[in-house]
Chain A
């Protein structure tokens, strides 16, 4: 780096403070939009994904082949014959924490006055507590092994349950025979997600076996891993085990379980990226225009510098360095302005009316907090500095190609 060139560029940036400030503010605005926009979006999506995994779907699920095609009806006849054997076989998966068999089927729960269509989840409570956080807050004793049920807080409110009633559970067995049994309410669970609390009821796995006449079979196996980073390797491992030992089964990771979430992520990122690209184009355009005007104003100066021995490349470097410096200072201002806003969004978030989140079938926090990662900060800075560099490139070339004689003829004002 030629420090003389750098010094000239730096001095030029501060020579016209007003102009430079406006250019820097343009970059600062871009940094702000990228940080806050991506931060909120990513924070919201991270929250939805984490909640879905922690409350409902786990990291990986195993089904019998063909089940997912009929998943809408939650069939019992497409099932996993020996879930215990499968779980033993996959315990070696990278990041494996726990796995549990489940029986899931639609049903109706009734207190003779009111009846509600629900999804009946037959679960091994002790194992599931290692997998999902849905059972962290249960008001009641929780599930044993008999004809018991725990219901969601929202369902309890609607049906006016206190947590110790006797209800009727109606559904159909794997042979399509109608079944109706009395079940004792052993608790009310609360997850802060109305949709789940209203629709999902949980019964003991042993009772579900008997109730649905499953004879040891399960409709799915839910798997928890150490963290999200383990998912790709673990999925590969599990798919390999299933292909060799259980060819009638398939494994789906959380992305395959919730494709609509992935679609939402893609759409939101695309729309914000398009918006940011347009703002960057504006910034690039403004910088190009500003530096071009600067070049025209300083043609005599450029001529003098060339006459004193500066090469074309060095003249080009001066203006490119100016563009980069404007970008750097703009990014710094953007960071300073964005920091308090990001702090607030990360710690407090934006409050969302619960009636809106109730309309979604995925869990969402009422306080939409932003994600804050060094990657977003670095990305915002780099993008804006590159915009400054490219914005200055064409006028810098123009300045470099200026003929010395023509420039000096214009005289110094």
Chain B
């Protein structure tokens, strides 16, 4: 074998033009694939990590509330206390348990009012459960006390309020009466999601419970787990410990469109890869064919000297394998640098994310970066080498099956 490596390597250097052509084709192919896969992986990660974590891997609702989810019927609620919290945390794989009250209200300042979406958060474990929201504060701080209120920065602009001002929340409580609660503006957030920036109000759970006459109750509990893909199994486990009349909904059911999105992403990657690989293969095949046909004399002499068909075949494949490895590594290096840079400096798609406004995906952060996943890198490495080897199969067969006498006769 080593002699063939020597011969193969020698041939690569001897036929520099062909070698360089194939190297460039493999390089471009691998670079493109890494770029495309890096983007898709980044988008997938954005959905699974950021969006699903925010939307919740598993959501616990009152069954009647879940049936009428569009109406946020706060009269259908879940009793929540430390006992419930401990039970949920005891389930293996559970990372966070986040109770919330989410409802519509009218936020009033001295002169203005706007319809808003209120997210009432539990003050316990607030730093652990709302790390992302804390990072989004552009002024002031996140909720710390029972009377604290955080607004999206655009909502604050509409209401003409600044930090320290009073905000009154007006809503209908569970008995149908109109109720009001006052809080103090302590922070402004900027989330890159227009919907949240324009209408989100975050307050403490006790303030909202008082407003809605729902002391000790919440409308939903978000449970985040270590592996989001295991949500259906964990939801089944959690369902067994929940009181009657409550339901645990995994994200694959509650956010079913995400499953379709992820499938579409997979299909897009496959289609793009097929196009790139096919184009690259044509180029490599063409170059190898020309190279082999020009070297028929050499193969004829080698065959006449006793080299077998299989050895000729192996020699050519060794050449293509080496070219594939060199071209792939050469393509992976700049590809990795570009993807790493774009991972740290994501694109801002805020304008395009407005198309998602009003839907659950509207809550997704509009900055989408790339992501370098080792498993994807391995697949690209393997594919780059494989393209080169597979594209050289036909020329290799062509060279191997020709009889030495036929080759020599043509050369005379």
A residues with a Cβ closer than 8 A to B are 18-19, 22-23, 25-26, 29-30, 33, 70, 72-73, 106, 114-117, 158, 176, 195, 198-199, 259-261, 263-264, 267, 275, 278-279, 281-283, 285-286, 289-290, 292-293, 297, 353, 355-356, 358-362
Compute how far the CA of A360 lies from the CA of B357 in the bound complex, rounded to whole angstroms. 7
Known: A360-B356, A361-B355. 16 other contacts (CB 8 A): A22-B282, A70-B158, A106-B115, A114-B71, A115-B172, A116-B71, A260-B355, A282-B280, A285-B24, A286-B287, A293-B18, A297-B294, A360-B355, A361-B357, A361-B359, A362-B355
Q: Most B CB atoms within 10 A — which of A25, A198, A283?
A: A25
| A195, A285, A289: residue with the most chain B Cβ atoms closer than 10 Å | A289
Is B260's CB under 8 angstroms from A353's CB?
yes
Note all chain B residues with C-beta closer than 8 A to A114: 68, 71, 73
**Chain B proximity of A158: nearest CB distance (Å):** 5
- Alpha-carbon gap, A72 to B153, bound state (A): 13
Q: Given the complex of chains A and B, what is the CA–CA distance between A33 and B275 in angstroms?
A: 8
CA distance A263 to B348 in the complex (A): 12
Q: Is the CB of A158 within 8 A of B70?
A: yes
Q: A29-B279, A72-B198, A362-B355 are in contact. Are A355 and B260 (CB under 8 A)?
A: yes
B381 at interface (Cβ–Cβ under 8 A)? no
Contacts A263-B351, A282-B28; A360 near B71 (Cβ below 8 A): no
Given the contacts A267-B352, A285-B25, A355-B256, A293 and B290 also touching, CB distance less than 8 Å: yes
A127 to B285 CA separation, bound complex (whole angstroms): 64
Once bound together, how far apart are the Cα atoms of A29 and B287, in whole Å? 17
Tell me the bound Cα distance from A33 to B276 in angstroms: 10
User: Which residues does chain A contribute within 8 Å of B358, judged by CB atoms?
Assistant: 195, 199, 361
> In the assembly, what is the distance between CA of A360 and CA of B361, in Å?
8
Rounded to whole angstroms, the CA-CA distance of A293 and B282 in the bound complex is 16
**A263, closest chain B residue (CB):** B351
Partner of A279, one of B68, B114, B198, B275: B275
Please indicate the chain A residues that have their CB under 8 angstroms from the CB of B280 in the complex.
Answer: 282
Could you pull out 6 A-B pairs where Cβ atoms are within 8 angstroms?
A: A22-B285, A70-B158, A116-B71, A117-B104, A195-B359, A359-B361
List of 8 A-B pairs having minimum Cβ-Cβ separation, nearest first? A355-B257, A260-B354, A263-B351, A22-B286, A286-B283, A359-B359, A353-B260, A289-B21
CB distance from A398 to the nearest CB of B (A): 12
Query: Which of chain B's residues has its CB closest to A279's CB?
Result: B279
* Contact of B261 with A by CB under 8 A: yes
CB contacts under 8 Å to A, within B69-104, are: 70-71, 73, 104
Choose from B29, B114, B286 the contact partner of A290 (Cβ within 8 Å): B286
CA distance A129 to B257 in the complex (A): 33
Q: Which residues of A contact B276 (CB under 8 A)?
A: 279
Consensus secondary structure, chain B interface: helix
Q: Is B138 interfacial (CB-CB < 8 Å)?
A: no
Interface flag for B248 (CB, 8 Å): no
For the complex, is B32 an interface residue (Cβ under 8 Å from A)?
yes
- Asked if B286 and A29 make an inter-chain contact with CB atoms under 8 angstroms apart, the answer reads no
| B 377-410 contacts with A by CB, 8 A | none
B262-298 residues at the A interface, CB under 8 angstroms: 264, 272, 275-276, 278-280, 282-283, 285-287, 289-290, 294
Contact A361 to B71, CB < 8 A, known contacts A278-B28, A278-B32: no
CB closest chain-B residue, reference A23: B286
Q: How far is the CA of A356 from the CA of B299 in the complex (A)?
A: 58
- For B289, what are the chain A residues with a Cβ–Cβ distance below 8 Å? 18-19, 22
Residue on A nearest B154 in the bound complex, by CB:
A72
How far is B290's CA from A297's CA once the two chains are assembled, in angstroms? 10
Give Cα A176–Cα B110 distance, bound, in whole angstroms: 13
Chain A, residue nearest B282 (CB): A26
Q: Determine whether B17 belongs to the interface, using a CB cutoff of 8 Å to chain A.
A: yes
B311 sits at the interface (CB 8 A)? no
Residue B345 lies at the interface, judged by CB distance under 8 Å to chain A:
no
| CB-based nearest A residue for B351 | A263
Q: Which residues of B have CB within 8 Å of A73?
A: 114, 158
Q: Which residues of chain B are near A195, meaning CB under 8 Å?
A: 358-359
Q: How far is the CA of A22 from the CA of B198 in the complex (A)?
A: 56
**Cβ of B198 and Cβ of A358 under 8 Å apart?**
no
Q: Are B17 and A289 in contact (CB under 8 A)?
A: yes
Smallest CB separation, A196 vs chain B (Å): 10
How far, in angstroms, from A166 to B257 measured CA to CA in the complex?
A: 34
Residue of A with least CB distance to B357: A361
| Interface: B360 (CB within 8 A) | yes
**In the complex, how many angstroms separate the beta carbon of A208 from the nearest chain B beta carbon?**
18
Does A353 lie within 8 Å of B355, measured CB to CB?
A: no
